[in-house]
Structure 1
Amino acid sequence: MKRISKITLIFSFVFVLVMSQFAYQPGEAKAESDLGLKAEAAIIIDGETGQIIYEKNADKVLGIASMSKMMTEYIVMESIKSGKITWDQKVKINEYVHNLSKAANLSNVGLTQGEDYTVKELYEAMAVHSGNAATVALAELVSGSEENFIKLMNKKANELGLKNYKFVNSTGLSNKDLLGKYPAGTEDDENVMTARDTAQLAYRLINDYPEVLGHAKISKLKFRDGKEYPNYNWMLPGLIFEYEGVDGLKTGSTEFAGYANTGTVIRDGQRYITVVMKSTSKNERFTDTTKLMNYAYGSFEKEEVLPAHYQVKGKDSLPVTKGKEDAVKVESNKALDLVIPKDQKDNYKAKVVIDKKKLNKDGELEAPIKKGEKVGYITVETKNGENYGYINGAAEKAGAVDLVAAETVEKSNWFVLTMRAVGGFFADVWGSTAAAVKGWF
């Protein structure tokens, strides 16, 4: 009986030891099984700050299919803003674009060869119905050829801070579907990115050009040919996966990429951006997106984690040289609001980052210093180390507030500075003399 108990005890101990290897550890991403996603990769970010609140395989490079068109949209919007092209500019349809627009099994609005279409018509065909031929027509307009436009896409991706990407066409189609119109040797190439980079592209698109949402939220496009073309984002109002507050952004699907969706939703002023990549079916990508959005709104809320004029204990002042005062109080210039897990406000602590360019070699600020002058920033970090960070990787730009001087420190006049210098000199001399005399005994 004792032998059986000992064996049972040993077995139980081994079982617990093995299972502990799979236990959640602080700082790890939330367990992938928690949300029950079918997608191979996913991410959720705050649409205002870029703060990441959930990720699954966010750095895995996967096909993006028509989500590529977000980059084309960005460049078109940038070209309009710079005056390079205009919304009412006419674009004449060439033979290739016409043939592509009638290719079987591709998403398109029909474009007639030799006919003129405005940039706005082509943009809406691309943004609402994911029109591939319309996308190519815009790429050719901006850069003269799609091949040149692809170079611009990759250059822009680098400028936007994306890390893992490759664009080989403007549409997200497989190159083999482009009727032979692709650079030599690239037939088997595909557009790829990570969920993290896709979210960052979406973040920049809707923050730099918020007007894109006015097109992205259109459920059905009435085109000049009299037909109505549906938006493939079935989470928009009136469609079968309708979700309150969804107003974008871009779906994608090819044999290589599987089914993907970049969604964006806003409720009570809180916007989130979600990405799912390589989901298992056309419907499942929206089920996955719904799970992400439910998780975001159900588990997180925007909270004031630091009030305005907040001073961090032990770091509430900085030394000052050449001033009427030898230190200056520092504080946050405004309140810091962040999206955090519900009822977890006490899990955050302030972190002060001083702008080293403001300090001399002795770590001092130099007077004069004006009240409100920026000397660094304050952000927060979790006490247990659980923190996904920000999509742009810079807390100074998002999720932080300025650290400023709470008072003015005027520069001392020349006489006071001279007396200080003299006093400092004699203090040094006295110190050296005292040390020497002490050494005699």
Structure 2
Amino acid sequence: MRLLASFFCAFFLLTASAAPEVQAAQNKRPAAVKKVNTTKTAKAPAKKAASAKKASKGKKNVAAARKTTKKVSSSASRKFASSKHYAKKKKTYARRHVRGPSYAQLMGLRGSSDPLALSTTAVLAYDMENDQILYEKNADTSLPIASITKLMTALVIVESGVDLDQKFAVTTEDFVKSSARSKLRKGMVLSRKQALHLALMSSDNRAAHFLARTFPGGKAKFISEMNAKAVLLAMDDSVFYDSIGLNNGNKCSALDLSHLIAAAAEHDVIRDLSTTPEASFSVGKRYVVSRTTNSFVANDNWDIELQKTGLTTAAGYCMVMQTNISGRPVAMIFLDAPNKAARNHDIQKLHDWLTNGKMLETASLN
């Protein structure tokens, strides 16, 4: 019995001494947890690699998507460029304006022969002092005269006795349909003399219309006065329908125009305004600067007393002048030249011929 009690007592003591060791073992459990965490940490690089791989794949997909989008966009751009709603910007180059046939050309007159082989259809050189024809080519044929008309406009204005200093405002009615540019704008206030200057020097169409519109009695009365003046000057093959020359019905022969030049040259104001190389004057709050359309005016080899140029498709390139050759006044008329260069070449050629021979010959006869 005592032996059994001793056994239980010893067992109890062993159990009590083993309790701290169990407790210590339990306190070491975090090491096991740490092991588990270590396992998870070991798996993290694999997860990171997988994430990096996925990110890389995502970048490739984005790049591919961008490439596809760019391709589609490029394709769409080409498709849009080929559509009728898109006009590709092209380089533009100045093109020479090709005019239709002139009135004289339709009549079969252009190309007519003459001693100097001039390309201008109708030509006349007239000695105004001796009342003598020095050179002529189709001079009695009535042809459109374009802005040579403005010479008759100037003559009617000056001889009518209207106040040249009287001022009027430019209106939209003066904006005649024309490819030629004008210095005049709506609302500008200018005098008749200023308008006359622009009409004769730079062949301003609005200025010529301004003169007829502001004439006492209006445009209809002014055109009537133009035709009446033509009758008084024995311009039998002439007729006028406007004050500008845009109406192709305005026609004269070169012989008729020699009478007009003689009458216009009697007025200092017409001679001075038509032969000004360049002028500037104030029109209201603005300054208008204008230049002559005749390159011979500034040429020192020429002594020009009066001039006027003209150009329309029907009339071709035209010019009339009164110039002094060998000390005598000569009217020179050129109607329907094929181009400006040909017209100027013919004018110089006839001038040289008169200077070197014909004028000396006629002077000796007189």
TM-score tier by shorter-chain length is 0.5 to 0.7
What is the aligned partner in structure 2 of residue 6 from structure 1?
Answer: none
Instruction: State the SS of the aligned residue for 2:225.
Output: helix
Does 1:296 pair with 2:317? Answer: no
Higher relative helix content: 2
What amino acid sits opposite 1:263 in the alignment?
A: M
- Once residues 269 and 215 of structure 1 are traced to their aligned partners in structure 2, the CA distance between those partners, rounded to angstroms, is 22
Note the C-alpha offset of 1:66: 0.2
Unaligned runs of 5+ in 1: 1-30, 175-188, 303-339, 346-441
d(CA) in 2 for partners of 1:153, 1:194: 16
Question: What is the CA–CA distance in structure 2 between the aligned matches of 1:40 and 1:269, rounded to whole Å?
Answer: 28
Contact 2:114-2:137 at 8 Å conserved across structures = no
**Alignment correspondent of 1:237:** 298
In 1, Cα distance between equivalents of 2:287 and 2:170: 19
Structure 2 counterpart of 1:89, one-letter code: Q
Judge conservation of contact 1:243–1:290 (CA < 8 Å) in 2.
no
1:198 is aligned to 257
Query: How big is the shift at 1:146?
Result: 1.7
Show structure 2 runs of 5+ residues with no match: 1-111
Please state how far the C-alpha of 1:104 moved relative to its aligned partner: 5.5
Distance 1:148 1:344 in 2: 47
Distance 1:282 1:223, change over 3 A: farther
For 2:29, the equivalent position in structure 1 comes to none
Alignment of 1:99-118 (within 5 A): 99-100=175-176, 105-113=179-187, 115-118=188-191
Q: 1:96 aligns with which of 142, 161, 173?
A: 173
Indicate which of 197, 201, 213 corresponds to 1:128: 201
AA in 1 matched with 2:262? Y
C-alpha separation between the residues in 1 aligned to 2:347 and 2:321?
A: 7
Aligned-partner Cα distance in 2 for 1:78–1:284: 35
Look up the match of 1:61: 142
Structural mapping, 1:350-365, within 5 Å: none
Q: Which has the larger radius of gyration?
A: 2
TM-score by length of structure 2 reads 0.64
Distance 1:156 1:342, change over 3 A: closer
Question: Helix, strand or coil: the match of 1:86?
Answer: coil
Deviations 1:116-167 (A, max 9, x none): 2111111101111111111111112224322221111111100111110111
Shift of 1:51: 2.1
Whether contact under 8 Å (2:277, 2:291) holds in the other structure is yes
Q: Which runs of 4+ in 1 moved over 6 A?
A: none
In the alignment, the residues of structure 2 paired with residue 274 and residue 268 of structure 1 have an alpha-carbon distance, to the nearest angstrom, of: 14
Seen in structure 2, the aligned counterparts of structure 1 residues 294 and 76 have a Cα distance that, compared at 3 Å, is same
Structure 1 residue matching 2:214: 3-state secondary structure? helix
Give the drift of 1:227. 4.2
Deviations 1:246-298 (A, max 9, x none): 24310000011001100221256321110011011012212111122222222
The Cα shift of 1:107 comes to: 4.2
TM-score by length of 1: 0.54
> For this pair of structures, how many residues does the alignment match?
252
In the TM superposition, 1:317-336 aligns within 5 A as none
Bigger strand share? 1
- Contact 1:42–1:56 (CA under 8 A) maintained in structure 2: yes
In structure 2, relative to structure 1, the CA distance for the partners of 1:344 and 1:288 (3 Å cut) is same
